[in-house]
Every structure is written in structure tokens, then in C-alpha cells.
């Protein structure tokens, strides 16, 4: 009996993946040149898998704000806000987030992952019910496991299935928390939030929406899919991250409920984790200001997203969802996806390789994310690389199919 028996199959799987070329899960960026370019093993590579939707990681105002905070406040807080105190910058950022969403208050966390762990585990408990979209992110599932609540999964993006499951609970005098995402990170599909909000109202449930990938992307003011669908007022808890559109690290939850601020004294991932460093807080505060004042960022992002989506679609590639800044290409097998990924990197394009068990329905994907920082030339480069590799893969598959037929004939 060995402690590592539970992961005994992983070394073999990793060796199989690496045998096709580079390690897709251990790529080292030797040098970051910009929001959209890096040096990898001595070669310049266009980055098409960063989630850097607004391209703000190298925004000079954000960088200057982070430098100033480092000079004034040091490198870290060295403890939790409960133990070591709150910096005024934390409070300002929370006020800005609450104002941005039009809610009464917000809480910030060191990561988006911890935001979901911290809020879900503090909100729900034994005797409560959580209605969870089947395709929700791993951190949401982990937060649910910490609650002791009864967790019921419903079919992905299916208000009818949610409604059916809530009807069975109507006779129970208990709390019901619906958890969905705005924009789903793997396929790039959006939730039908108007329909979910209607179901929520009908059954007097709470609605919790993770807008991690949709803040800065959807909505007239960039507040996410709930704003885009016109139902932000129906959402009880909005959760998100600073590591996508806002170009830093951290997470948040905003709410209008008067007792929401008291979650600070019930959320273990909030109470027992060192708070966000001053430089992160400063860059996020500045990035949020850019998002609020510059609608051109979102316009450029969508122009690039549509351009890349249309080009990949024209090559006959199977795309997982309608246009969004997440453009996921479905690949028939895991082996083909790994080969495809390696060939793209050789062609100077970095994308995300997503394979089971980390994907819905055991699908293998090459996942792209468009950025407002991509130039038209970079979008062309990404598209041409996909077209070139698609031709090579078609030729490879045809050759292997021919060999298989010859072998079958010989037998």
C-alpha cells in the first residue's frame, strides 16, 4: 500500500503525452515580451491562450500603480485581514467593485478559486440545497464539498431541468442556492441567465453567478452576462476573478444582502489566508478604472474574437460554441489533440490543450482566448497556423487510414 497509489496512472499518462513532443502542462515562458507575445525555447511565440481578455497585464498605468504600491506599502501583507488588519487599499478596491456592480458591498480574496471556496462554504450548510450546473468549474465543486449541504446537479445550461429539480424541493422549508457561470471557460458558451433568473424567482431560491470569464467581456458596462441578459438585479451573489480581464490575481464576491459583510467572520478561506498584496490591489484598482472608462477595450476584444472565430470556422474546424472571446476547437481524440498542440507551438502559436478529465463530456480541445491586445497581424498569424496544421493533420489521418486498410487487407 502506497500513499501515491491513487495517482498511479498519472506518470504513464504524462509520459504518453510528452512523447509526442513538448510537455503542454509545463511550458516555460522564458521571457514575456508583451501581453500577446513570449519567448519559448528561444523562439518568439504569439500567445492565444492567456485569458488576458482586455490585454491589461502590460498596461502602463496598471504597472505604474503596482510599482507605486510596492514602494509605499512593501511586497506583502504577511497575514490575513482578520489577524493583521485591512489596508485602506483593500477597502477602496471593495468599494470600487461594489459600485461597479451597483451592489451594497463586496469582499476580495487572494484568488478567484478562494473566492468560490470562501463564499460557497460560508453561505450553505447542512440542511440547505445547492443546485449546481453540471459544467461548473472545479473550485465551485470544491466549495460545495465544504458546505455539508445537499448538492444536486442539473443539466448544463438547462433551465427546464433546474425547474424540474426545484419543483421537488418546493415543499421543503429550506434554503436553495442556484450556482451557474456566466461564460463557461472550456467551451466558451454562455448561460441563459434570463431563464435561470425566472426559475429562481418562481421557486424563491438564491442565484449565485460566477462571472470570472465574462467581466469586461459582456454587458454594456462590462459587468458580465447577467448585465448582458438584463437580470443583474436578480442575481444575489456575483463572483469573479482579477486574473482574467483585470490582468492581475485575486477574486471577489459582491452582493446586496445586508448580512453579506458578516461572511468575513464565517469564511475560513478569507479568515485564514494572507490578504492580497498591495501591488496586486493597486493594479486591479487601476484596471477596473480602465474598464469603466474605456469601452474601446471591449470593442477591440470582440472585433478580434469574431475575426479569429470566422477564420477558424472557414477552415472547417469544429468549434464548441457560438462566438465569444473563448474559441474552443474540438479534436476527435486526445492523441490528435496533443499532436495538434505541438504542431501549433512549432508554428509559433501557443494555445491551451484541454483534455479529459478536465473537460465536459470527455472532449479534447484546443482552447484559444482572444485579447484586445492582439493586433490584426497576430490574429492572422494564429489563424494561418491553424489552417496549416489542419492540412497536415488531415494528411496524417488519411495516411494512417490507408495503412490501416492495407493491414486489414493483408490479414
CATH architecture of 8-47+295-410: Alpha-Beta Complex (3.90)
Tell me, rounded to whole angstroms, the distance of Cα 307 from its chain centroid.
21
For the segment(s) 59-293, the CATH number from 3.40.50.300, 3.30.565.10, 2.40.37.10, 3.40.640.10 is 3.40.640.10
Domains of the chain, residue spans:
8-47+295-410, 59-293
CB 118 within 8 A of CB 272: no
Contacts of 328 (CB under 8 A, 6+ apart): 186, 187, 188, 319, 320, 321, 354, 365, 366, 367, 368
Distance separating alpha carbons of residues 311 and 182, to the nearest angstrom: 25
Ordered alpha helix ranges (H), 224-295 = 225-228, 268-271, 278-293
Q: What is the pLDDT of residue 245?
A: 98
Question: How far is residue 47 CA from its own chain's centroid?
Answer: 16
Q: What is the pLDDT along the chain (411 residues), one digit of tens a residue?
A: 899 999 898 888 888 888 888 888 899 999 999 999 999 999 999 999 999 999 999 999 999 999 999 999 999 999 999 999 999 999 999 999 999 999 999 999 999 999 999 999 999 999 999 999 999 999 999 999 999 999 999 999 999 999 999 999 999 999 999 999 999 999 999 999 999 999 999 999 999 999 999 999 999 999 999 999 999 999 999 999 999 999 999 999 999 999 999 999 999 999 999 999 999 999 999 999 999 999 999 999 999 999 999 999 999 999 999 999 999 999 999 999 999 999 999 999 999 999 998 899 899 999 999 999 999 999 999 999 999 999 988 876 766 654 544 454 555
For residue 277, the 8-state DSSP code is P
Phi, psi of 319 (to 5 degrees): -100, 145
The pLDDT score that the predictor gives to residue 405 is 43
Q: Nearest to residue 95, comparing CAs of 85, 84, 82, 108? A: 108
- 218: preceding bond cis by omega (within 30 degrees): no
Q: What is 134-202 written as a DSSP string?
A: TT--HHHHHHHHTT-PEEEEE-TT-HHHHHHHHHTTTTS-S-EEEEEESB-TTT--B--HHHHHHHHHH
Q: How far apart are CA 138 and CA 201, in angstroms?
A: 27
The packing angle between helices 159-167 and 193-203, to 10°, is 10
Alpha-carbon gap, residue 117 to 220, rounded angstroms: 29
Alpha-carbon span 110 to 108, nearest angstrom: 7
Phi, psi of 391 (to 5 degrees): -65, -45
287 within 8 A of 62, measured Cβ to Cβ? yes
What predicted TM-score, i.e. pTM, was given to this entire model? 0.94
* Residue-by-residue DSSP string for 374-409: --HHHHHHHHHHHHHHHHHHHHHHHHHHHHHHHHHH
Locate all alpha helices (DSSP H) within 219-277, ordered by sequence. Answer: 225-228, 268-271
pLDDT of amino acid 268: 97
Contact 241, 111 (CB under 8 A): yes
User: What does the pLDDT read at residue 12?
Assistant: 87
Give the model's pLDDT for residue 120: 98
Q: In what order do the strands lie in the sheet with 176-181?
A: 105-109, 251-255, 237-241, 206-210, 176-181, 129-133, 150-154
Give 3-state DSSP helix, strand, coil % of the chain, rounded to 5: 45, 15, 35
Give me the phi and psi of 27, to 5 degrees please. Answer: -65, 130
Task: Categorise residue 27: left if φ over 0, alpha if ψ from -120 to 50, beta otherwise.
Answer: beta
Residues in the chain: 411
H or E element that contains 330: strand 326-331
pLDDT at 198 (0 to 100): 98
Amino acid at each position: 500500500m502506497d500513499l501515491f497509489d491513487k495517482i498511479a496512472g498519472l506518470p504513464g499518462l504524462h509520459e504518453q503525452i510528452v512523447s509526442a513532443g513538448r510537455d503542454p502542462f509545463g511550458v516555460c515562458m522564458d521571457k514575456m515580451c508583451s501581453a500577446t507575445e513570449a519567448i519559448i525555447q528561444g523562439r518568439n511565440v504569439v500567445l492565444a491562450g492567456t485569458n488576458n481578455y482586455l490585454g491589461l497585464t502590460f498596461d502602463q498605468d496598471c504597472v505604474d500603480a503596482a510599482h507605486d504600491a510596492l514602494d509605499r506599502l512593501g511586497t506583502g501583507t504577511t497575514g490575513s485581514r482578520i489577524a493583521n488588519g485591512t489596508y485602506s487599499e483593500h477597502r477602496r478596491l471593495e468599494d470600487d467593485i461594489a459600485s461597479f456592480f451597483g451592489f451594497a458591498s463586496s469582499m476580495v480574496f487572494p484568488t478567484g478559486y478562494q473566492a468560490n471556496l470562501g463564499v460557497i462554504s460560508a453561505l450553505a450548510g447542512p440542511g440547505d440545497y445547492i443546485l449546481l450546473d453540471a459544467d461548473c468549474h472545479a473550485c465551485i465543486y470544491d466549495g460545495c464539498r465544504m458546505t455539508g449541504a445537499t448538492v444536486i446537479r442539473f443539466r448544463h445550461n438547462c433551465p427546464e431541468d433546474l425547474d424540474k429539480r426545484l419543483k421537488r424541493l418546493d415543499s421543503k422549508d429550506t434554503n436553495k442556492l442556484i450556482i451557474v457561470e456566466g461564460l463557461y471557460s472550456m467551451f466558451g458558451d454562455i448561460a441563459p441567465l434570463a431563464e435561470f433568473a425566472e426559475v429562481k424567482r418562481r421557486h424563491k431560491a438564491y442565484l449565485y453567478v460566477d462571472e470570472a470569464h465574462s467581466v469586461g467581456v459582456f454587458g454594456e458596462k462590462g459587468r458580465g452576462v447577467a448585465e448582458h441578459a438584463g437580470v443583474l438585479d436578480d442575481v444575489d451573489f456575483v463572483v469573479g476573478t482579477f486574473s482574467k480581464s483585470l490582468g492581475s490575481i485575486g477574486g471577489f464576491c459582491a452582493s446586496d444582502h445586508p448580512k453579506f459583510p458578516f461572511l468575513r467572520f464565517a469564511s475560513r478561506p478569507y479568515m485564514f489566508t494572507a490578504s492580497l498584496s498591495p501591488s496586486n490591489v493597486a493594479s486591479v484598482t487601476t484596471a477596473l478604472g480602465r474598464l469603466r472608462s474605456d469601452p474601446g477595450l471591449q470593442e477591440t476584444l470582440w472585433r478580434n474574437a469574431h475575426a479569429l472565430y470566422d477564420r477558424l470556422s472557414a477552415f472547417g474546424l469544429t468549434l464548441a460554441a457560438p462566438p465569444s472571446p473563448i474559441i474552443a476547437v474540438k479534436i476527435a481524440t486526445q492523441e490528435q489533440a496533443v499532436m495538434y498542440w505541438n504542431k501549433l507551438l512549432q508554428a509559433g502559436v501557443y494555445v491551451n490543450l484541454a483534455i479529459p478529465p478536465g473537460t465536459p463530456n470527455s472532449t479534447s480541445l484546443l482552447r484559444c482566448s482572444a485579447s484586445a491586445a492582439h493586433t490584426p497581424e497576430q490574429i492572422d498569424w494564429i489563424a494561418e497556423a491553424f489552417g496549416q496544421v489542419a492540412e497536415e493533420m488531415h494528411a496524417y489521418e488519411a495516411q494512417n487510414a490507408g495503412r490501416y486498410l492495407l493491414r486489414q487487407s493483408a490479414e
